[in-house]
Amino acid sequence: MDDVGRSAGDRGGPVPEAIACPLMGDQTAKPITRVGADTGGTFTDLVGEDGSITKVLSTPDDPGRAVREGLDGLGAGSPRLLAHGTTVATNALLERRGAVVTLITNEGFGDLIEIARQDRPSLYDPDVDRPAPLVDRDHRLEVRGRLDHRGRELIPLDLSTLGDIPADTEAVAVCLLHADVDPVHEQTVAGEIRSRGFDVTCSHEVSPEFREYERTVTTVANAYLRPACREYLRNLSGLADEVLVMTSAGGLTEVGEASELPVSLLLSGPAGGVRAAAAIAAANGHPDAISFDMGGTSTDVCLIRGGLPEPAAGREVGGFPIRMPSFDIHTIGAGGGSVAAIDAGGALTVGPRSAGAVPGPACYGRGGTLPTVTDANLVAGRIPADVEFPSLGRLDLAAATDALGRAGVTAEGVLAVVDVNMEAALRAVSVERGVDPRGLALVAFGGAGPLHACALADALDMPAVIIPARAGVLSAVGLLCAPPQRDLVRSWVGDPGGPELGAAREELAATALARLGGEGRVETLLDCRYGGQSHEITVGSLEEFHRQHEMRNGYSRPDWPVEVVAIRARAHRRSPLRPDELPATDRRGGTGPTVISEPDCTIWVPRGWRARPGEAGALVLERTGEGS
């Protein structure tokens, strides 16, 4: 007999003690006026300012319906503020469910979006292909006109060469050469197209940075996503007096602005979790950490240094380079709903396919028959069979056992494979960047993260695992506690040593602050590189650039010329609430093997680890020195 269907006790070890923790937050407190709502692939999570939480199954056909159901379940009615993290933009891009887009670019550059860069998605795989462009060839129009890299006109713009927009066009993207330096040609073309009644996205409004391919893809993606996201976000506006949406850069923006710039929302929900994880890690004495968010569909990890998540100028989403300010979040298809299978070569694989919310893992009892990570955790005894889950009730152990058996896989095998996949993600944001994970804590959250955290920390010899209060809904906590924020960027082609750079920084800072309403703090940064390099480092000053280059690349050249290629500005206001200020009931510790059941997640403390109460309601897991 194999291990499928055996509990921890069946395999000869002691059955782990199960500790149940009550719902956190005062359910009889005064009316809730602020709510954070995170829409995930499997669950939609809501957290009120009083610390109360609710989880409902996501409704992919209408994501807003789950938010409305969650507000009812929370007893929030119509709150004053709803801070929202959305997956609508991400899912529309990944599933290719966007608008029919026509691209307008310079004469001779219609194929730029398809030529792309010379790098391949998988260097040694002759069969791998890049994702097909979001614009078909017959929807790419070219217009005569040309600026040089400093914005000087080489060829006058000739609108008579533009031609007719295809009849089935739902949105238009305009991306002309060097519009990041001078948008005059783009503005003229956009005015003409808008006069014909089309929805137009211009590159200088979305991503005014050099690198034509990335700027074109980002502009096209925004046009592709805007019709669907605009309708969805506008429908949310009636759920609260004020609806704010989380951007990929970890700040809240008005729903109207978010609906016009949906490409800035592609890491919306995960950014909330990273922001909260950084605050909780610092409160527990670990300003350097890695956030580890394992939900139902994916796992998101991000390096945290000095209490701040690592920023990035852009991320790749669905194979497309998106040049928008964001947290440097690395995502893989590994979650509680990830499906396990035996591939054609006889190897066990887990993910990236997910059972999602419908039908979900087999143990949900909603018609799912495929084995998932959640089914494996249940069969392995890490999730107690008698625990009741919100919106699901008691999980079906027999269905999980049958699903694993039919697929010919063991619970232990599934867990081992998914752990290896997630370990690679943690290495990608630490070891591969020259950061030793032995000096970092692992902040585990999401519904499934605390089940796998200790195994991953063991693999990387990390000193501690931190499980925040409300770990299963931490992204919603981060949304509730995020600040209003505006992030702007512009290309720079001037002298880095002249007074013009300082004036440009001040001008961009003033613009960012004005877009925030005129109140708040502003910081500016520079994208710098040595002359001849093709990659940049974002720093606060030219002096800091040399130090950062030494740390990241192992050398610096203080006597070499430094180029400044872009200026960044971030304006933000302090949030009235921090994650460590939310009320929380006491949590009990325990020595492994122990299962700690909470309303929003389950925590597995294996042998060789112990859990103790930490700051801000967190549990801190540390090694006991005993063998596992």
Q: Check pLDDT > 80 for residue 336.
A: yes
CA distance linking residue 54 with residue 283, whole number of Å = 25
- 498 or 191: whose pLDDT is higher? 191
The residue-averaged pLDDT of 186-203 equals 97
pLDDT of 101 > 80? The answer is yes
Q: Does 6 score more than 80 pLDDT? A: no
- The answer to whether position 47 is within a domain reads no
Whether the predicted pLDDT of 553 surpasses 90: no
Domain range for 285: 273-333+419-480+611-623
Q: Same domain, yes or no, for 358 and 227?
A: no
In this predicted model, which residue has the larger pLDDT, 473 or 27?
A: 473
Give, to the nearest 10 degrees, the angle between helix 212-236 and helix 63-74.
Answer: 50
**pLDDT over 70 for what percent of the chain?**
95
Give a yes or no: residue 603 inside a domain.
Answer: no
Q: According to the model, what pLDDT value does residue 8 have?
A: 37
Query: In which band, very low, low, confident or very high, does the pLDDT at 5 lie, cut at 50, 70 and 90?
Result: very low
- Is the domain of 395 the same as that of 469? no
CA distance 173 to 194: 11
Amino acid in the structure at residue 142: E
CATH of the domain at 424: 3.30.420.40
Per cent of the chain over pLDDT 90 is: 73
Give the pLDDT score at 358: 82
CA distance 144 to 276: 49
Any domain includes 73: no
- Contacts (Cβ under 8 Å, ≥6 apart) of 61: none
Pairwise pLDDT comparison (454 vs 582), residue with the higher score: 454
Instruction: Return the pLDDT at 15.
Output: 40
Model confidence at 94: pLDDT above 90: no
Alpha helices in 355-486 (DSSP H): 373-379, 397-407, 411-428, 449-460, 474-480
Say which range, 122-131, 209-218, 321-330, 612-621, has the weakest mean pLDDT. Answer: 122-131
Predicted confidence band at 390 (pLDDT cuts at 50, 70, 90)? low
| Number of compact structural domains in the chain | 4
Query: Whole-prediction pTM value?
Result: 0.89
Q: What is the residue-wise DSSP string for 171-190?
A: EEEE--TTTTT--HHHHHHH
Question: Residues 195-239: pLDDT tens digits?
Answer: 999 999 999 999 999 999 999 999 999 999 999 899 999 889 889
Question: Each residue of 144-172: pLDDT tens digit?
Answer: 999 999 999 999 999 999 999 999 999 99
**Position with higher pLDDT, 552 vs 602:** 602
Residue with tokens 């930490």: 614
What's the confidence (pLDDT) of residue 122?
76
| Helices vs. strands in the chain: H and E counts, helices first | 15, 35
CA angle 34, 38, 42 (to 5 degrees): 145
| Statement: residue 88 has pLDDT above 50 | yes
- Residue 324 shares a structural domain with residue 423: yes
> Is-contact 63 91, C-beta < 8 A?
no
pLDDT value for 12: 36
- Is pLDDT above 50 for 21? no
**Quick check: is 20 in a domain?**
no
Same domain, 178 and 205: yes
HSE-CB of 613 using CA atoms within 13 angstroms: 8
Closest of 485, 472, 575 to residue 49, by C-alpha: 575
Give per-residue pLDDT as tens, 247-257.
999 999 999 99
- Give the pLDDT of residue 130: 84
Residue 398 shares a structural domain with residue 437: no
Mean pLDDT of the chain: 90
The mean pLDDT value for 286-313 works out to 94
Question: Which of 34, 38, 30, 28 minimizes the C-alpha distance to 70?
Answer: 38
Residue 588 has pLDDT above 90, yes or no: no
What are the Cα distances from residue 522, in Å, to 487, 525, 574, 626? 10, 10, 12, 49
Considering the domain architecture, whether residues 426 and 472 belong to the same structural domain is answered as yes
Burial of 365 (0-12, 13-18, 19+ CB in 10 A): middle
Q: Does 458 share its domain with 545?
A: no
